[in-house]
Amino acid sequence: MTTLTSAARPRRLTGRLVVPKAGAIVLALILPIALVALWQASGTNGALFGGALPTPDRAWNAWVTWAFGPKGMGLNPYSGTWAESVVFSAIRVAKGFALAIVIGVPLGIAIGWWKLFAMVVDPTIQWLRPVPITAWLPISIAIFGISDFGSVFLITIGAFYPIVINTTHGTRDVEKNWIRAALMMGSSPFTVLRRVVLPAALPSIFTGLRIGLGIAWTAVIVSEMVAVKSGLGYVLWDAYYVGRMDIVIADMVSIGLLGYLSDFLIVRVEHWVLRWRRLQSFNA
């Protein structure tokens, strides 16, 4: 790590601030630590709002038991069960998200590429899109019952729209001369799609994936609250009913961290796949 003296603080010619990585982490932590400290300090007898909201230390203790406590005989659902709840939710997100990619990316490319196909399919997608995933819940339960796939179905629907829309956009935006060059070099239309259009659309596709993943986490929590009996969403709602607000808080933080972690993973993959693009960009 380089030590910085104020005289030799590196600034780019453009005048933008350059901060070393460790410094960036410190900067990022200031606000959350301050908020938690304020929250802790505002509580009396470990609670705020007349007992409705527990202080962070109580939520932390609840989480420790939830995560590492003895499982007992299943008498306390909030002891030693955190990991399995996380796994249930994460697997549902992974399945639903994967399904959304498998359907959304090819469909988006097809819509972006073939005008006729777009004219037939795109309006329907645009009409269905404003229907929020919550509105799909009754249908999902009616068809799939209280089952895992009901949840996966909702996640897929939620993640599908941003993926398909961004893929379409990326496909339509491909530079004309790249396609011409590929045709000139003897590519078949399918080769053009696979070797030019798909890679050229990847930056947009990744944008869609990131938005879609965020919606996937929303969808898993909503669906678990109603349509299945396991996972973080189920625990969240259940804990609320039995008045365990400390677990509710611990659950919310867990969801936030998982969402953050999965987004981080996507960004890492994107970073690696789109190396070529970083070299061209201003912020490289």
Q: Residues interacting with another protein, by CB under 8 A?
A: 175, 177-178, 180-188, 191, 195-196, 199-200, 274-277, 279-280
Three-class SS string for the chain?
A: CCCCCHHHCCECCCCCECCCHHHHHHHHHHHHHHHHHHHHHHCECCEEHHHCEECHHHHHHHHHHHHHCCCCCCCCCCCCCHHHHHHHHHHHHHHHHHHHHHHHHHHHHHHHHCHHHHHHHHHHHHHHCCCCHHHHHHHHHHHHCCCHHHHHHHHHHHHHHHHHHHHHHHHHCCCHHHHHHHHHCCCCHHHHHHHHHHHHHHHHHHHHHHHHHHHHHHHHHHHHHHCCCCCHHHHHHHHHHCCCHHHHHHHHHHHHHHHHHHHHHHHHHHHHHCHHHHHHCCCC
Specify the residue, 194 or 229, whose C-beta has the smaller distance to another protein.
Answer: 194
Nearer to another protein (CB atom), residue 70 or residue 186? 186
Please state the closest distance from residue 283 (CB atom) to another protein, in A.
Answer: 13
Q: Which is nearer to another protein, 197 or 227 (CB)?
A: 197
CB of 129 to another protein, least distance (A): 30
Closest to another protein by CB, 5 or 177: 177
Nearer to another protein, 210 or 277 (CB): 277
Cβ 271 to another protein shortest distance, Å: 14
Nearest distance, CB of residue 28 and another protein, angstroms: 30
Rounded to the nearest whole angstrom, what is the least distance from the CB of residue 277 to another protein in the complex? 7
